[in-house]
Amino acid sequence: MEISYNITIAAICVAILLLYTWRVLNWAWLKPKKLEKYLRKSGLKGNPYKLLYGDSKELTNKLNEARSKPINFSDDIAQRLIPFFIDSINKNGKSSFVWLGPYPVVLITEPEHVKEILTKNYVYQKQIHPNPFSKILALGLAKLEEDKWAKHRKIINPAFQVEKLKHMLPAFYQSYSEMVSKWEGIIPKETSFVLDVWPDLQLMTAEVISRTAFGSSYEEGRIVFELQREQAEHVMDISRSVYIPGMRFLPTKRYKRMLEIEKQVQTTIRRIIDKRLRAMEAGETSKKDVLGILLESNMKEIEQHGSKDFGMTINEVIEECKFFYFAGQETTAVLLVWTMILLCLHPEWQAHAREEALQVFGNEKPNLEGLRRLKIVTMILHETLRLFPPVPTYRRRNKHEVKLGELSLPAGVLLFIPTVLIHYDKELWGEDAKEFKPERFSEGVSKATKGQVSFIPFGWGPRLCIGQNFAMMEAKMAIAMILQNFSFELSPSYAHSPFAIITIHPQYGAPLLMRKL
C-alpha cells in the first residue's frame, strides 16, 4: 500500500515536472520559432531567434555605446535613442522584426499602418512588459484597456476640457513667476550668465502639477515627483531586460527599492485624497483642480447609475494621480527644454517669438485669449514636438491574428512604432526633415502632414493624450514669460546628448547663457 502511494506521488511529481518543462521549452524556444516562421512567411525579414535572450544583449550594448558620447546637432537623434532598431531597418528594411527576449517586435513606420493601429485601440492594445514591476510606475488611463479604459476616460475627461483648464491658468502663472523671479535673482545685470535651465524647468512643471492636480504646494507634492522620476529609471532598465517568469519573487536590491517607492507614493497620494474627501463630505465646495473635478465627476457617475461599479475606486484614483504627476510633469518639461535649446540654435526664431509675445502681452501677465493668439510660438512648439517628441516610441500588441495592410501578424506580436523615425522621414516631411523649420506648421498640423498620420507627439485616434491641451497651454505660457524677460544662447559647455527615460531628456542638462532684457 505504501509502495503504491509512493509510486503515485512520484508519478504526479514527474507529471508536474514534465508539464513545467514543456511550458518553459514552449515559452523559450518552440513558440518563438513558430512565430519567426510565421513572420518570415508573411514577407518580413529579421534576425534569427537566439535562445531566451533574442537580441536583448545586442540592443543593450548598442544603447550603452550610443549613450557614451554626445552627438552633433546635424546627427540623427534616433541613432542615439534607438540605435539597434536603426541597424535592423538598414539591414532588413522598414517593416522588419527584432527580438526582445523570446518576443518578436515588428517595426511599424508606414503612416497607414500607424493610423490603423492607433485608431483600432480594441484590436491593438498597449503593450505591457511581461515583468509585473514594469506596471508599477502608474496604471492610470494610459495603461488601461477596453471597457475599463472607456470608463476612466469618461470620468477624467471633464478635468481637461478647455473650459476647466482656464481656471488653472493662475497656477501656471504663479509657478513660472517663481522661476522667472529666481532667474532674475541669479543673473547679473547687463551680462550673460551660465545657467542649467533643465533642473528648474523640471521643478516648475512639477510645481504646476502639484497646484493644478492637487491644489497643494510643491513642498507637499515634491516627494511624489522625485520618487516617480526614480521609479521611471528602474522601469526603463527592466523593460530592456529579459524577464523569466518568477523573477519578481527574487529579493533583489532593485525590486525591493521599487516596492519601497510604490509604498511611499501610495501613502502620500492617499493622504492628499483622504483630506480632500473629508472636506467634500463636510460640505466644502469642490476645488477647480484636477483632483477636485475628478472626484466630483466620479461621484456624479456613481450617483447617476446608482452603483459604485460605474465609478473608480480610491486605488484607481491613486493610480490616475500617479499618472498625472509623471505624464503631466515630464511631457511639458521636456517640451520646454528642447524648445529653449532649439531657439538658442535659431536666434531669428527666438526674436520672432519674443516680438510676438511682447506684441500680445507687453510686460503684462499672459491671459487665455492672448495665449490663443500666439501663432509663431505655437508653430515653434509643434516643430519642437516633431524633432523631439516626448515619447520616442509607442508599443502595442495585437490580441488576435490580424491583417495589417499587406502584413499578416500572429496573435501576441509586439508592434513598435518609432515616433523619432516617422517624424524625421524625408518621404513624409521632405528633404529638410532634419531641419528646424516652424513655418511648416504655419497653416496647422493637418496641412503640414498632408492628412497623413505622420505627426504623433501625443498619439492618435481614440487614445490621443487627454492632457494635450493642458501641456500646450502650459508650454505657451512658460515660453511667453521666459521670452518677456530673457534672451538666451547655448553655453560652450552644452553637450548635445538626448536620451530616453520614458521621455527624451538632455543627458547632461541644458546649460545656457542667459541675459536679462
Over residues 17-68, the pLDDT tens digits come to 888 888 888 888 999 999 999 999 988 999 999 988 889 889 989 999 999 9
Q: CA 331 to CA 475: how far, in whole Å?
A: 10
What are the contacts of 128-131 at 24+ separation with CB within 8 A?
Answer: 128/397, 129/238, 129/239, 129/243, 130/103, 130/243, 130/245, 131/238, 131/239, 131/241, 131/243, 131/247, 131/248
Q: DSSP states of 48-62 as a string?
A: PP-TTTBTHHHHHHH
State the cell numbers at 117. Answer: 493601429
Contact between 467 and 353 under an 8 Å Cβ cutoff? The reply is no
- Per-residue pLDDT tens digits for 65-86: 999 999 999 998 999 999 999 9
- Per-residue pLDDT tens digits for 202-238: 989 988 888 887 776 556 667 777 787 777 777 777 6
CA-based angle 479:483:485, to the nearest 5?
A: 125
- Record the pTM: 0.88
Q: CA 457 to CA 147: how far, in whole Å?
A: 25
Contacts of 290 (CB under 8 A, 6+ apart): 159, 160, 212, 213, 214, 324
Residue 17's alpha-carbon distances to 13, 30, 452, in angstroms, are: 6, 18, 53
| Model pLDDT, residue 414 | 92
- Per-residue pLDDT tens digits for 246-303: 555 667 788 788 888 888 888 888 888 888 778 777 766 667 777 778 888 888 887 8
What are the contacts of 360-366 at 24+ separation with CB within 8 A?
Answer: 360/480, 361/480, 361/484, 363/484, 365/173, 366/169, 366/173, 366/476, 366/477, 366/480, 366/481
| Model pLDDT, residue 405 | 87
Q: CA 474 to CA 493: how far, in whole Å?
A: 29
Contacts of 259 (CB under 8 A, 6+ apart): none
| β-bridge mates for residue 457, sequence order | 459
- Which of the 8 DSSP states describes residue 460? -
Q: CA 434 to CA 446: how far, in whole Å?
A: 19
One-letter amino acid for residue 103 of the chain: Y
Contact between 78 and 434 under an 8 Å Cβ cutoff? The reply is no
